[in-house]
Amino acid sequence: MSDAEWAIVRDATPVPGWLEGRSGQPEGYCHRQMVDAVRYLVAGGITLRAMPADFPAWDRVYASFRRWRDNGLAAEFHDRLRDRVRVASGRDPEPTAAVIDAQSVKGAASVPAATRGFDGGKKVNCRKRHIVVDTLGLLLAVMVTAASATDRDAGQTLLIRLRERHWRVTRVWADGGYTGRLVDFARGVLRVALTVVKRSDDTSGFTVLLTKRWLVERTFAWL
């Protein structure tokens, strides 16, 4: 990281107990080294055990990341960065509109059968990732289910989470998989206008003419 990046990240990192007079041994590695190691891991798509010797030991990197993840720090990093991107784009940090969609992803053989299901449309046994993005395509909420879960059922849970974390969102665009009682639930309980954007009968495949829908498709492409 550059010094400017570290100045932002440092304020979000937890203070070790021994520095505040609490029990515990001094840490063997600085937090900046750990964040650099995690970023290298993600950017290179490597395994933890393939961590170069220039970084801290792989098991220490994993232990630190796991502790940060369990304490919500990884999500905090992401949300702060998203807010800065929105401000740099001339937007308010808190969005008022979003787009929801789901994508089935074929799972590896190691994925437990209890957390995967059959997608009748794709004809594969896999998992499904459900996401809500803002109008820049940046993630607001994420949930992973078995592919057998319907978009409506998962969408209800996801919209509840969205409302809890981003209370200013009052409009969400969706595809035809989110019709029916979910629209009524969003309007009556969450006070969110769930607008279903359907493609016309004479179109097929991907098209950017579907209002706002292409934003979430682009995010899936990024992933």
The winner for highest mean pLDDT among 41-45, 75-79, 103-107, 138-142 is 138-142
Angle at 138 between CA 133 and CA 141, to 5 degrees: 50
What's the whole-model pTM score? 0.81
Segment 183-209, tens digit of pLDDT? 999 999 999 999 998 766 565 555 555
Higher-pLDDT residue of 177 and 22 is: 177
What whole-number distance in Å separates Cα of residue 115 and Cα of residue 66? 21
Per-residue confidence band for 138, with pLDDT thresholds at 50, 70 and 90:
very high
Mean pLDDT for the chain overall? 87
DSSP letters of 145-161? EETTS-HHHHHHHHHHH
Q: Which of 222, 170, 173, 162 is nearest to 199 (CA)?
A: 173
Give the DSSP letter of residue 25.
Answer: P
Q: Closest by alpha carbon to 128, among 112, 116, 110? A: 116
* pLDDT tens by residue, 75-86: 888 998 899 999
User: At 181, phi and psi to the nearest 5?
Assistant: -65, -20
Q: pLDDT by residue (tens digit) across 50-101?
A: 999 999 999 999 998 998 889 888 888 899 889 999 999 999 999 999 999 9
DSSP string, 91-156: --SS-SEEEEEEEEEEPPTTS-GGG-EEETTTTEEEEEEEEEE-TTS-EEEEEEEETTS-HHHHHH
Report d(CA 135, CA 208) in Å as an integer. 14
